[in-house]
Structure 1
């Protein structure tokens, strides 16, 4: 057993992986293990991983099942008292593990430094809070901070006691292909009493690397799952007495945006799929507050009134007009 298990999923990151592994090898904190899960890479990633000779590094190769399954396998292989995640296209400062390691804490959350392709820091994102904070107090600013920075959903710069993960049978949901890390940590927050916050930003996240989720096609995103994640957020905030008027307004706006996106995308797939998704959305009891552009106002107002056919026709006309205009350019 070691103090910290580092889980690193890899998929076609040949260009970046050596940098990330090297940044771990030079850590001032020595009591760690690195568990690399090569998720069916088709480039030279696996060979890059195998070049590093250190008894603390274990490399596993699997068929491509996605980042969530890779992380879950890493968790199951971990022997450390704590678990942290470092993505294969990111890297960390030499004292990273030393700074985030807090013996006896259930969880630590630190900051993140966004860098460009040359490693130059573009932005530093730090938690609003500092030191030891009870979950109920964390919840007071949770939604505002998450919407502003995304920090509570980052897989990076977090340290979790493995016993918390195992006792509560927490794993990444492989059905989710966007914000799966936020969903994972929402489960964590619901099972612990306190979090230790630090403004240390020794985790370096390179923007828009190859295969980055930032560039994910909307057609590959299950927006119903995104609605479910927001519902879990609402449940967490309510449990901790922090779902006030501001949070409710933001929540309704986000859910409405997801609903509008679902309807727009469904309209391109035919009347049957559109009707099915329209009816599925009605079961979500979405409260639309009249936000957004004119098109969204028309469609969501029709949605509120249950006008399945009417909204479908409008969206099909909108697409046809857009195609005509594109042809004229």
Structure 2
């Protein structure tokens, strides 16, 4: 029997988290799903933990370590469900996540992408993601333009989004040349093609894990090629979103000491759309920029800002 949902979980060295992630799916109140675990060359005990959980809905595949995008793309090819989720191996759902998404699918059958609000768990506590200009009340849903409501935190996240598989085929594969920002690249392509049915209830949790892989990815940071959108006849919200992400990428390059790449992106930024703090971070000496960013990150958390 073909399941309604395919939950694709790329797995690389998440032995401390994968069991909780899997149980959060297995304990859903809506249970018409399959779980596709793509073991991306884990070297810890992650695979053994997955294999110890006996449930026929869990399908396990192992590939050579190729990165999260390749693992997700492999999972897409193996998925048999009509709707796909890209849940990371350290994130988790509330028990009613799929039940709420199913109700949205039934209510908005013409739409292709569905998402709930998100919680962010760090060592300091749990935060609610804040969304730009969102006027939905708690428990209220709406069909939203991705770029208009993602100028602060993205309304799409791997932990909280569901895609019709036909839409995934149109959006295309995850970019395997990007070791970071591959999700942002995907959301841009999704937002250019579809609206998002967004439910303002935090039914998914993104767990911020600062492990060795994260640090390594930062060193290998490669910006999205924003230049391909320069001539695109899109909304002001889209161009503001791209400008914000150009700033973020330029700042990351600066923090890594890649001044040439940072300069190239900075030259393309519309500074009239930046606030005073953002302008200052790009212009001040690197040593001061690092101090400011370190202080900011110590006292607050803002996804995709620094």
Q: TM-score range by the shorter chain?
A: 0.7 to 0.9
In 1, Cα distance between equivalents of 2:268 and 2:57: 50
Of 226, 239, 258, the residue aligned with 1:265 is 258
- Cα deviation per residue 1:60-118 (whole Å; 9 max; x = unaligned)? 0110000110011111111111011211112211111111223223111211112246x
Structure 2 equivalent of residue 311 of structure 1 = none
**Aligned with 1:239: secondary structure?**
coil
- Pick closer, same or farther for the CA change 1:20–1:2 going to 2, 3 Å: same
- The two structures have a TM-score, normalised by structure 1, of 0.70
Distance in structure 2 (CA, Å) of the matches to 1:252 and 1:209: 24
Aligned to 1:269: none
Q: Secondary structure at the match of 1:110?
A: strand
**In the TM superposition, what is the alpha-carbon distance from 1:122 to its structure 2 partner?**
1.4
For 2:62, the equivalent position in structure 1 comes to 61
Residue equivalent to 1:296: 283
1:103-118 to 2 correspondence within 5 Å? 103=105, 104=109, 105-116=111-122
**Whose Rg is larger?**
1
Q: List alignment gaps of at least 5 residues for structure 1.
A: 267-273, 299-314, 319-329
Q: Which structure's residues are more often helix, by fraction?
A: 1
1-side partners of 2:217 and 2:72: how far apart? Answer: 22
Tell me whether 1:75 sits opposite 2:63 in the alignment: no
Contact in 2 for aligned 1:186/1:233 (Cα 8 Å):
no
Check conservation: 1:256, 1:288, Cα contact below 8 A: no
Residue 252 of structure 1: CA displacement?
6.7
Greater Cα shift, 169-178 or 54-63: 169-178
2:192 corresponding residue in structure 1: 190
- 1:248 is displaced (CA, Å) by 8.3
CA RMSD of aligned residues (A): 3.4
Ranges in structure 2 where 5+ consecutive residues have no aligned partner: 288-306
C-alpha distance 90-211 of structure 1, shift in aligned 2 (>3 A): farther
Q: What is the number of residues matched between the two proteins?
A: 269
CA distance in 2, matches of 1:243, 1:169: 17
- 1:202-241 residue pairs with structure 2 within 5 A? 202-211=203-212, 213=214, 215=215, 218-222=218-222, 225-226=223-224, 228=225, 230-231=226-227, 238-241=233-236
Specify the SS of the correspondent of 1:160.
strand
Query: 2: distance between equivalents of 1:234 and 1:111?
Result: 30
What's the counterpart of residue 12 of structure 2? 11
How far off its partner does 1:203 sit? 1.0
Structure 1 residues 252 and 65: CA distance shift in structure 2, 3 A: closer
Alpha carbons 1:35, 1:59 under 8 Å: kept? yes
SS in 1 for 2:202: coil
TM-score by length of 2: 0.75
Please give the secondary structure, in 2, of the residue aligned with 1:200: strand
